Structure 1
Amino acid sequence: MPTQGSGEPDYDHLLRANLERVFNERDAVRRLAAIDEIFVDDPVMYEPSKVVNGREAISEIAGALLEQFGPTFRFTPNAPAVGHHGFGVLRWRAGPDEHTVAVTGSDAAEFVDGRIARLWVLLDPPAG
């Protein structure tokens, strides 16, 4: 796994890879291969409404999300991720195209041995 000069994981690289290669990946085989690379053997993902355990379950959630919102829906990072001491955060936006934002939020992750062990999906309140 990529690390920074300090021995810390490369938070930006790994959290962007999670966004692009997992949550934007429509091909289930490629998505699961990315999860195997990015996540520990038995990861946990905390969504606002449930807790998801394991790589296959995370892949299923990502696939269902993409299917639910249509073929052009995608997640885009807002800025580089930040992190230290095994914890990183990436702010993102998502929508059907680059000009329409349907939701914004952050992924916060705990890293173990350079891979994501626990991932919290935090959704911003709706604007208005």
Structure 2
Amino acid sequence: MRPEEDVMATVAELMEANLLQVFNERDDERRAKAIAATYAPDVEFADPEGVATGHAELNAKARGLLEQSPGFVFAPGGPVLVNHDLGHLAWQFGPEGAPPVVRGIDIALVEDGVIKKLYTMLLPG
């Protein structure tokens, strides 16, 4: 594997971990371990509701989303797209086995093998 392919694989793995091991994880201990492995300590997560900074605020954000939506799950809405140190992943959120209630995209800036900045945008409709 060429060095740039290795970086692309890492970005793709981080994007999948962000969605499935962090925002889709209801167990606090497993989610905290995934956060430590996936994000920089001073990560900035921005969504339409505001900005969360650091592991603790990101963890609280993920927990809050899951607590207000029992039975809902996140799932990829397409493949991870990578451009150097940027990752993009479309996602969907809704009751397991049912059509999604919400769709969005995550865009992440990766530095030193972890997500440094994460932006979430909701898609209309």
TM-score (norm 2): 0.91
Give, as a single letter, the amino acid of the residue that structure 2 aligns with 1:76: A
**What is the CA–CA distance in structure 1 between the aligned matches of 2:16 and 2:3, rounded to whole Å?**
19
Consecutive unaligned residues of structure 1, counting only runs of 5 or more, are none
- CA deviations 1:6-30 (Å, max 9, x no partner) are 1424232211111111001111111
**What is the CA–CA distance in structure 2 between the aligned matches of 1:9 and 1:36, rounded to whole Å?**
20
**What is the CA–CA distance in structure 2 between the aligned matches of 1:34 and 1:14, rounded to whole Å?**
10
Residue in 2 that maps onto 1:122: 121
**Over aligned residue pairs, what C-alpha RMSD do you find?**
1.6
Residue in 2 that maps onto 1:90: 89
Q: Per the alignment, in what secondary structure is the counterpart of residue 7 of structure 2?
A: coil
**What is the CA–CA distance in structure 2 between the aligned matches of 1:25 and 1:104, rounded to whole Å?**
18
Cα displacement (A) at 1:4 = 7.2
Residue in 2 that maps onto 1:38: 38
Give, as a single letter, the amino acid of the residue that structure 1 aligns with 2:53: N
Consecutive unaligned residues of structure 2, counting only runs of 5 or more, are none
**What is the CA–CA distance in structure 2 between the aligned matches of 1:4 and 1:28, rounded to whole Å?**
37
Cα displacement (A) at 1:36 = 0.3
CA contact (8 A) 2:18 2:38 kept: yes
TM-score (norm 1): 0.89
Moved over 4 A (4+): none
- CA deviations 1:63-111 (Å, max 9, x no partner) are 11101011x2110002211112211100011101232210000000000
**What is the CA–CA distance in structure 1 between the aligned matches of 2:97 and 2:118, rounded to whole Å?**
25
More helix by share: 2
- TM alignment of 1:24-103, pairs within 5 A: 24-70=24-70, 72-103=71-102
Residue in 1 that maps onto 2:109: 110
Give, as a single letter, the amino acid of the residue that structure 2 aligns with 1:33: K
Q: 1:4 to 1:32 in 2, by over 3 A?
A: farther
CA contact (8 A) 2:8 2:84 kept: no
Equivalent residue pairs, number: 123
More strand by share: 2
